């Protein structure tokens, strides 16, 4: 029986198949495949999504961390752009699966880890997202605190910065509670506002300092290539890891794509372009503060304290909007979906958003950002070692093992082809463990430290290759004939589309 329809590269369930899944305990309203009507995100929607996520305080201050480690301004910016061009590859490869089959990340993970084993990559991604959620709330809370200090005796209130932090944390949870479609609408109008505010800050710096300032003319602190590369490679891994999170759960957004072209064009322009531009704004503005105020001020919240209250108000709005757009899109969707996947019939996306907020508090974000070296090498590098292997497995499974052919209905069956042994695909678990292990070896064996310095890349390649080899003859793979047996291939012409659509609606049992 035909259970799915493929049209213009987008696969959706037939009405009969969708009806048959209504009672599955592995499905709820948020985890089901998207319908044809829900594939409505354009290239602009994907661009605005990334602009909203990339324009945030961690992006602004990332370049500061690289300069503090010894790079000059252009070395820092090139490292950031290169890292984002690299991570763009898995972003597009994994987004393809979401766009074609309309499935969210936890369901996508069932393909490679099994119906129960999917909780492993889903929870791993969720923990990292919760940490980022807390970090962005901390930055946003600091901006609110600066505004209140400038306008009153707020600084005399005991624990004032934590009060501001919890207030902003609550705002994030409330917005996230409204769901992914509300996030799309917010990103749509927030993106141009954030770009204007960022460029306005750059213009102020140029005019006030009479140029870019001394930092852009400061030389690199490295005297040899060896010294530079000793910092460059772990820094590059940290930059890649910055968005290695979204490289995994990008199907959560790709599933709404109008077409593959829409998601490819929108993401390819916005991700590396926005990260490079905003990181440069961070470097240029900070360079100007050396001329204007006599010291380098990397923290935008601290920089605002030097302005009149009205400017602080506008700046606070910009920081809050930047932190909010990043948080609710990049750091809530994945853990909320992971929570739903644990108990689809009981936990909704709204409930998952609340769980994310609570988990972020347990991460104590004020400690995570306390030291820039620990932030780049330990936090970013550490979760790069965790997520790189999962990225490798996901890419190898969809592109090499399954060759972009799968059965939607069996993803929601506890006893289907993707359940493996008792719900766990041990081959993916072995590959995942191997990818992490080889990076850890680099951490503990001095002569092999380059393995840890490039943990995300090494883990991706090792786990991907091992998984591809182990799965080469797996029974869960679908042949061309099996895929054709369950899939209606629809003509792309308008007339044929109308005719086929009516046929499916009127006679679903014969499709």
Which residues form the domain of 349? 4-510
pLDDT of residue 496: 47
In percent, how much of the chain has pLDDT > 90? 36
41: which DSSP letter?
B
Can you read off the two tokens belonging to residue 406? Answer: 């799968």
Handedness of CA 244, 246, 251, 255 (dihedral sign): negative
Residue 124: which CATH number? Answer: 1.10.4160.10
Q: SS3 sequence, 478-497?
A: CCHHHHHHHEEECCCCHHHH
Residue 181 pLDDT exceeds 80: no
φ, ψ (nearest 5 deg) of residue 4 = -145, 155
Q: What is the mean pLDDT of residues 35-63?
A: 87
Q: Using pLDDT thresholds of 50, 70 and 90, give the confidence band for residue 44.
A: very high
Q: pLDDT higher for 16 or 219?
A: 16
Q: SS3 sequence, 397-460?
A: HHHHHCCCCCCCHHHHCCCCCCCCECCECHHHHHHHHHHHHHHHHHHHCHHHHHHHHCHHHHHH
Pair 213, 296: CB distance under 8 Å? no
pLDDT of residue 217: 73
Q: What is the mean pLDDT of residues 478-502?
A: 73
Q: Using pLDDT thresholds of 50, 70 and 90, give the confidence band for residue 470.
A: very high
Nearest residue to 441 via CA among 467, 459, 468, 464: 459
Q: What is the residue-averaged pLDDT of the chain?
A: 84
Provide the domain count of the chain. 1
CB-based contacts of 222, cutoff 8 Å, min separation 6? 70, 71, 228, 231
Residue 471 pLDDT exceeds 90: yes
CA dist list (Å): 70 to 24, 216, 221:
55, 13, 5
CB-based contacts of 382, cutoff 8 Å, min separation 6? 455
Residue 354 pLDDT exceeds 50: yes
For residue 5, what are the β-bridge partners? 12, 488
pLDDT tens, position by position, 204-230: 888 888 877 666 776 788 889 899 998
Pair 505, 15: CB distance under 8 Å? yes
Residue 330 pLDDT exceeds 70: yes
Pair 409, 27: CB distance under 8 Å? no
Nearest residue to 508 via CA among 20, 88, 7, 11: 20
pLDDT of residue 94: 96
pTM of the model: 0.83
């Amino acid at each position: 029986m035909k259970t799915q329809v493929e049209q213009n590269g987008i696969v959706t369930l037939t009405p009969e198949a969708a009806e048959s899944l209504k009672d599955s305990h592995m499905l709820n309203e948020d985890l089901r495949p998207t319908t044809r009507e829900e594939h409505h995100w354009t290239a602009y929607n994907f661009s605005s999504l990334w602009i909203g996520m990339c324009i945030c305080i961690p992006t602004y201050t990332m370049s500061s961390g690289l300069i503090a480690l010894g790079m000059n301004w252009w070395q820092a910016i090139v490292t950031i752009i290169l890292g984002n061009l690299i991570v763009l590859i898995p972003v597009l490869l994994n987004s393809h699966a979401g766009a074609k089959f309309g499935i969210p990340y936890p369901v996508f993970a069932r393909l490679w880890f099994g119906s129960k084993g999917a909780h492993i990559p889903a929870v791993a991604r969720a923990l990292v997202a919760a940490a980022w959620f807390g970090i962005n709330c901390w930055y946003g809370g600091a901006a609110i605190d600066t505004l209140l200090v400038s306008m009153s005796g707020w600084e005399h209130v005991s624990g004032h910065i934590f009060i501001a932090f919890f207030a902003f944390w609550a705002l994030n949870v409330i917005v996230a509670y409204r769901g992914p479609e509300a996030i799309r609408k917010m990103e749509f109008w927030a993106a141009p506002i954030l770009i204007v505010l960022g460029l306005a800050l750059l213009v102020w710096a140029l005019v006030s300092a009479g140029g870019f300032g001394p930092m852009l003319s400061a030389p690199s602190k490295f005297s040899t290539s060896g010294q530079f590369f000793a910092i460059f490679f772990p820094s590059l891994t940290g930059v890649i890891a910055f968005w290695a999170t979204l490289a995994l759960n990008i199907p959560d957004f790709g599933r709404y794509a109008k077409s593959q072209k829409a998601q490819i064009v929108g993401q390819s322009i916005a991700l590396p372009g926005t990260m490079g531009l905003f990181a440069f704004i961070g470097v240029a503005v900070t360079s100007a503060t050396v001329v204007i105020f006599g010291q380098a001020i990397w923290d935008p919240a601290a920089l605002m304290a030097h302005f009149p209250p009205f400017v602080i108000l506008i700046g606070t709005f910009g920081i809050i909007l930047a932190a909010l757009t990043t948080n609710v899109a990049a750091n809530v969707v994945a853990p909320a979906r992971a929570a739903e996947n644990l108990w689809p019939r009981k936990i909704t996306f709204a409930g998952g958003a609340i769980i994310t907020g609570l988990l972020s508090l347990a991460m104590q974000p004020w400690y995570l950002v306390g030291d820039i070296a620990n932030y780049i090498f330990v936090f970013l590098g550490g979760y790069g070692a965790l997520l790189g292997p999962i990225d490798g497995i996901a890419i190898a499974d969809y592109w090499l093992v399954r060759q972009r052919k799968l059965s939607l209905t069996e993803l929601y069956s506890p006893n289907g082809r993707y359940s493996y042994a008792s719900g766990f695909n041990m081959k993916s678990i072995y590959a995942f463990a191997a990818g992490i292990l080889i990076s850890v070896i680099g951490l503990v064996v001095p002569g092999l430290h380059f393995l840890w310095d490039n943990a995300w890349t090494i883990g991706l390649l090792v786990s991907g290759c091992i998984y591809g080899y182990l799965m080469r003859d797996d029974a869960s793979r679908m042949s061309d004939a099996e895929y054709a047996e369950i899939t209606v291939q629809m003509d792309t012409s308008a007339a044929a589309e109308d005719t086929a659509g009516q046929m499916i609606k009127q006679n679903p049992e014969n499709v």
